[in-house]
Structure 1
């Protein structure tokens, strides 16, 4: 069952001169307990929706829980879904993953589980839990805490021979989605790698396989946070602490600085062919924004990509 969007809280949508910004109107904008990480676009109940992943931690850095917030792009209403797994006793436990990237295909949600491959969650089997279970999966054990929650349960773990810090989608240069993902490594030096993989078959298929690698390269960019591909052109986000992030774009072996800045503390990337936007987001408290950058600023025009990346 697909649950309806909530209506008690709405992020504010601003159309700036050059971008479309969603800003959080709640403690989400400054809390140090939940941090936004991954992003992708999909359809929820027939409506265009952006999905943003978060991880929860104690102030000492101990991981507590992960969730995905689904935001209706037209009405800006939101829905929180906690990510969970089933333990050996059949009990639901919080998914202990950083959730640094998302790839959303129908009811299949793939989430980057840093150092532990890609985890798949079933959006078609979302369930409502109550009481102690809701508090446990949400990482809260305090009295008077969460009493009900929506939960998506992990269905499969896909081992990948990369660190799996983030993942992004692939589109043909006419905007057609390709059943592949890009999986990359965040490293503080320039040793991070990016691999392209064909999607694993659905769990109900007669023969099941994991991600099949079709390409791998190392762009020599430190602190990579996200990657997507449009035709033959790649877009890679690079964070720079409390300064605006850098967008790299171009061919596989010719990535260069794009003149378009990314949010402070930039994270994942997602392509939106319908609205013709490249989405990113910032993770740092007080700098949190979900930002859409028009394709026209990136040299993507008329359904095709300008082969020459824009440089600073």
Structure 2
């Protein structure tokens, strides 16, 4: 018997003995012990949680500097072994091919609902009220996405963040929008995936949008782990954020180089890699299971299952999945609570949104959404990190000196910065949102100019600087509320609608 045969026989004997002993076999590649099955384990990042005592808060006031040390991040566990095994098990697809094979169509113009409107239910018929600033670009999603109660859009980034020349192959300027699963009851509430599609906690998906062709495609974000048999598998991304939600809110994203940074509200930042977009239906025939490189098959018809199950790969019905490759966890204790939208003014911040400033040394901005209360009056904080340090995915990263401030206003859903100009998206539930401008003046982040009314339900912000394309700079966002004529909150003077839109930066800066 040759050496290979002897080794195979030895492995078979080991497996048999392990099964007889009621044990699972550890992976041959020396990976950690098999992880928990889907839904029963903690995913990273996972910040240290603490409880505030009754001591008075020390909020110094809107716009004042915030302690830089509380923004510090530390790298999570090394996931490279899991990614290598997943890469060996499943075929990959690049961003360019994914966009070329996009299966959904964008609407524009009159085909879209209008979340800007002309009135405001708070101000009524005030004749001095300026109309919302009109966007220069506006796109809407297909009907099932626009009206979905399950998926809510939050985050926006684009090739303007990814590369300085703002182009990606033949698709000149792809834009990415992040959505979170909002309606699942969660696995801890007695609901199982086998019962109903609605039971599944699908986590986060990203829409890869090509405005030039007016097409887009969804990609499901996933967490890699080893199942109880020691086999590589994946689960939807989720975190402990009860009672508000079970999954992560993904309120902000930044695409930088090959990496996609996604905000994990109470924990830090999750990192995904564009080089590892897995394709579970490469023959583009959903009716037929595809063979996979590991000798199994993949199924994109069953939208109730995810990961490797009984020799078949599932993905909640999505063709593409993108696994998490790293994480950044807040080093400071997290005192914020998922049960309240007010914010502590000390400890780790919330990661409510992300953006990228390319006007100097490239920096990733991270900030908080906060609704102040009498007990917790903080408007929320914002800080910036050298993004090149985050790309290392090891060690620790501190926020840039002089970059951390309390925000000059509250209920902020997105912040962008370019050449010293700050742009701030403020939401007012079902009223038109407010777009503010600010600059650092005398050591404080101060509002600069008046309120600019914008879409109902404005979210994350991204800044297209136009350096590589010659296009005029744009400020991108997405609105979250679905149009629903049966909901009085979304009719009359505030017609809701989910749209991806951009304002000319020059229009924003020219407002009084």
Give yes or no for TM over 0.5.
yes
Q: List gaps (5 residues or longer) in structure 1.
A: 139-143, 301-309
> CA contact under 8 A between 1:201 and 1:209: conserved in structure 2?
no
1:163-242 map, 5 Å: 163-172=350-359, 178-189=361-372, 190-201=378-389, 208-214=394-400, 215-242=403-430
1:23-172 map, 5 Å: 23-42=140-159, 43-47=167-171, 48-58=173-183, 60=185, 63-89=201-227, 90-96=232-238, 97-129=248-280, 130-131=298-299, 135-137=304-306, 146-160=316-330, 161-172=348-359
Deviation at 1:179, TM superposition (A): 2.2
> CA contact under 8 A between 2:220 and 2:318: conserved in structure 1?
no
Q: List gaps (5 residues or longer) in structure 2.
A: 1-92, 111-132, 160-166, 188-200, 239-247, 281-297, 308-313, 331-347, 373-377, 484-496
Inter-partner Cα distance in structure 1 for 2:508 and 2:379: 26
Please tell me whether residue 280 in structure 1 is matched to residue 480 in structure 2. Answer: no
Deviation at 1:244, TM superposition (A): 1.2
Deviation at 1:257, TM superposition (A): 5.6
> CA contact under 8 A between 2:432 and 2:454: conserved in structure 1?
yes
Please tell me whether residue 297 in structure 1 is matched to residue 489 in structure 2. Answer: no
> CA contact under 8 A between 1:200 and 1:209: conserved in structure 2?
no
Inter-partner Cα distance in structure 1 for 2:268 and 2:102: 35
Inter-partner Cα distance in structure 2 for 1:241 and 1:168: 22
Report which of the two has the higher share of strand: 1
Residues 198 and 281 from structure 1, CA distance in 2 versus in 1: closer, same or farther, beyond 3 angstroms?
A: same
- Provide TM-score, normalisation by structure 1: 0.84
Residues 35 and 61 from structure 1, CA distance in 2 versus in 1: closer, same or farther, beyond 3 angstroms?
A: farther
- Aligned partner of residue 267 in structure 1, secondary structure: coil
Report which of the two has the higher share of helix: 2
Q: Counterpart of 1:305?
A: none
Pair member with larger Rg: 2
- Aligned partner of residue 384 in structure 2, secondary structure: strand
In structure 1, which of residues 229, 243, 263 is the aligned counterpart of residue 455 of structure 2? 263
Residues 236 and 281 from structure 1, CA distance in 2 versus in 1: closer, same or farther, beyond 3 angstroms?
A: same
> CA contact under 8 A between 2:408 and 2:447: conserved in structure 1?
no
Alignment RMSD: 2.7
